[in-house]
């Protein structure tokens, strides 16, 4: 099952764009190989009291644009899906400006500074848990814990629209990087299965366009990861038994700046396969169990 990625998002930076009755998005000017067109900051609420999901990077021009968009409204909640530097740093200047508390699963844990790196300065004012409800002026949000991309990754469901803000757990333009030690492939796959059990009608990733309907896309992501583990098993059978050797075989021609992310993703797969007994590790080398 091929993943139907959507690369059509046309970047319009620093301008609030209305997506639905209760959802608007403002795109930060931080495009990269890991952020696609940039960080999509979501503004939730149809009235004068709104929540902000993933305020984005602490770039002066972006923070200024966010303040302009929110001027005249009260920010009641600042919700963080996870603590990579393209998601959470602007929470602090936004909080200082508007006074809203920050919400998240917890502070950053471990990082290898792949992708945009970890925001070690962020700690939520209010720590949220799976299934917790957050009430706004004209909206209700349910917290959905989805570890895998990071250990503190939390999605947020807008109950009134059956819409899930999925951070980097699911992205419409690319697969997510799962980078140990904080990223965990087993957790990531279980979190994808968890979303399959929900009734969301649309997913809003922080990077890229909305995804609808969710189930076929989620199934394609799961199938892709299982296929990748089959390819890794074939590599081990051929004698490509180290992470660099597997990456060289499976990602031939990959841009140098993406090699580290590929190595960490392969490592995450190997850790998952080792954990369930399919693979054994001998130092830097791996082998299939008979």
Closest CA relative to residue 81, chosen from 164, 195, 182, 163? 164
Residues contacting 53, CB < 8 A, separation 6+: 41, 42, 44, 79, 80, 81, 156, 165, 206
Break the chain down into helix, strand, coil percent, rounded to 5: 30, 20, 50
Distance CA 163, CA 204 (A): 7
Distance CA 20, CA 29 (A): 22
- Angle, CA of 72, 73 and 76, to the nearest 5°: 150
Report the chain's C-alpha Rg in angstroms: 19
Query: Which residues carry out catalysis?
Result: 86
Q: What 3-state DSSP class applies to 160?
A: helix
Reported as type and span, the H/E element at residue 288 is strand 285-288
């Amino acid at each position: 099952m091929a993943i139907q990625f959507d690369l059509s998002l046309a970047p319009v930076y620093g301008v609030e764009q209305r997506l639905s009755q209760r959802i608007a998005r403002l795109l930060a000017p931080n495009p990269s190989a890991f952020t696609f067109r940039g960080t999509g900051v979501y503004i939730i609420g149809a009235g004068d009291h709104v929540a902000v999901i993933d305020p984005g990077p602490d770039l002066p021009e972006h923070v200024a644009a966010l303040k302009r968009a929110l001027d005249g409204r009260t920010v009641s909640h600042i919700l963080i899906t996870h603590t990579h530097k393209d998601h959470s740093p602007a929470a602090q200047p936004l909080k200082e400006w508007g006074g809203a508390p920050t919400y998240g699963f917890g502070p950053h844990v471990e990082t290898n500074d792949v992708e945009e790196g970890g925001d070690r300065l962020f700690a939520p004012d209010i720590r949220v848990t799976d299934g917790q409800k957050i009430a706004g002026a004209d909206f209700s949000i349910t917290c959905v814990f989805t570890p895998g991309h990071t250990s503190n990754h939390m999605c947020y469901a807008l109950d009134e629209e059956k819409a899930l803000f999925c951070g980097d757990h699911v992205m419409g333009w690319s697969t997510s990087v799962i980078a140990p030690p904080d990223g965990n492939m087993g957790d990531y796959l279980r979190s994808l299965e968890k979303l399959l059990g929900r009734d969301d009608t649309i997913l809003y990733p922080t990077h890229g366009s909305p995804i609808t309907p969710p189930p076929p896309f989620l199934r394609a992501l799961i199938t892709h990861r299982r296929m990748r583990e089959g390819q890794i098993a074939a590599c081990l059978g051929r004698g490509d038994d180290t992470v660099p050797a597997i990456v060289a075989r499976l990602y031939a021609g990959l841009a140098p700046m993406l090699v580290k992310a590929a190595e960490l993703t392969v490592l995450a797969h190997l850790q998952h396969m080792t954990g369930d007994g399919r693979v054994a590790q001998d130092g830097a080398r791996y082998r299939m169990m008979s």
